[in-house]
Amino acid sequence: MVSQFKFISLIVILGAVASALEPGSRTRLSAQTHLNRDARSLLNTFPFNAGESDAAHENHEHAHEQQAVVFPTSDSRVARQEITDDVPLDIGSIAAAGERCIDKVVIVTETEYDDHIECHHSYSERCHTTYITDFQPQQEEECEENFKKSCFIEYKKVAVDETVQFCHTPFVCEGEGPEECKTVYETECETRYHEHDVEDDVVNCETIQEEKCEDVTQGYTTEKKCTKWPKQVCTSEKKNVKKYSPITECKKVSRQLCGPSGCVPQPGPEECFDKNEVIVQEVPEEQCNLEPQRACKQVTKLVPSLKAVKECVDIPKEVCSRSRKNPRKVQKPVIKKWCYVPTEESGLVESA
């Protein structure tokens, strides 16, 4: 019975609502609603109920957050923000506009992140071409010019007067008897002195006086006594001097010896004398010429050359990227400034 009563009451309410939404009644309802809205007072409403308890504030803030969920889309919000951004919010501008403002602490929820910088290290190889000096062996012909002495020696006969020491030992035949002559052979020797230049040590000597002194003390006095003695000092030096070398030639010469018959020839005393003889000598005469000769040979030389070499180096590279991790919801207090123009209809005009 009770359920039937509820059902009938619901039908009656729906019919009343439908009749109110007819065109004529809809206009009356809108006008009535507008009239009631203009006459409504804002006193003791949020945010003008600052004198209420903190619980009421908290409940209101929660309701405000719930109302913020059903706000218009982001496009309309951005449009409103663009409009309101040009409105100055400093105290002087607000007072000049006749507005009043109330600071309200609102708890807003924000998302915080941990900033992470992640860097990756790597090496990139960079190569370049450099040139080094390389030496290559190469055969080259190297020539030098020398001179050859070509000589021709010709002997010419030259007559030279030379003093010759002539010595011979004559035979003597003594005895008695008729004289007769017979042939004997005597030895004759000729000595020639050959002159030639030689380098010899020539000694030069001289006598010098050496002196030695010493102090002699006699009683309380000291005297210096010196003693001198002769000393022969010789020095030698090399000089070109002329020396003569004897060259002796001997030969048998036949002679007629006359004397008593039956005597035996005996060699007598040696007889020597100098005599000048014209000697024909063969003197060498040398004729020389210098003949240039070019001598060439192969030599190995190191020839420098540039060689391209590729050199590579590893260059360290660091690539870093910033990322946000560990998102979390954090509630933060935000001070919002509520500004309004007090009117009599709002009931916020202060009485004089």
Residue 144 C-beta-side C-alpha neighbours within 13 Å = 6
Nearest 5°: phi and psi at 343?
-130, 165
What's the pLDDT tens digit per position in 177-191?
777 787 878 777 777
Q: DSSP for 305-333, please give it.
A: EEEEEEEEEEEEEEEEEEEEEEEEEEEEE
Give 125: exposed, middle or buried? Use CB within 10 Å, 0-12, 13-18, 19+.
exposed
State the Cα–Cα distance between residues 278 and 259, nearest whole angstrom: 34
* pLDDT tens digits along 125-144: 999 999 999 898 989 888 88
3-class DSSP assignment, residue 182: strand
User: What is this structure's pTM?
Assistant: 0.25
The whole-angstrom distance between residue 225's C-alpha and the CA centroid of its chain comes to 76
The kind and range of the H/E element at 248 are: strand 221-260
Q: Say if residues 203 and 244 touch (Cβ distance below 8 Å).
A: no
Burial of 192 (0-12, 13-18, 19+ CB in 10 A): middle
pLDDT digits (tens, 9 = 90+) for 297-330: 899 989 898 999 999 999 999 999 999 889 999 9
Both tokens assigned to 204: 């030069």
Residue 215 has pLDDT above 60, yes or no: yes
- Rounded Cα distance between 322 and 273, Å, is 136
DSSP secondary structure letter of residue 350:
P
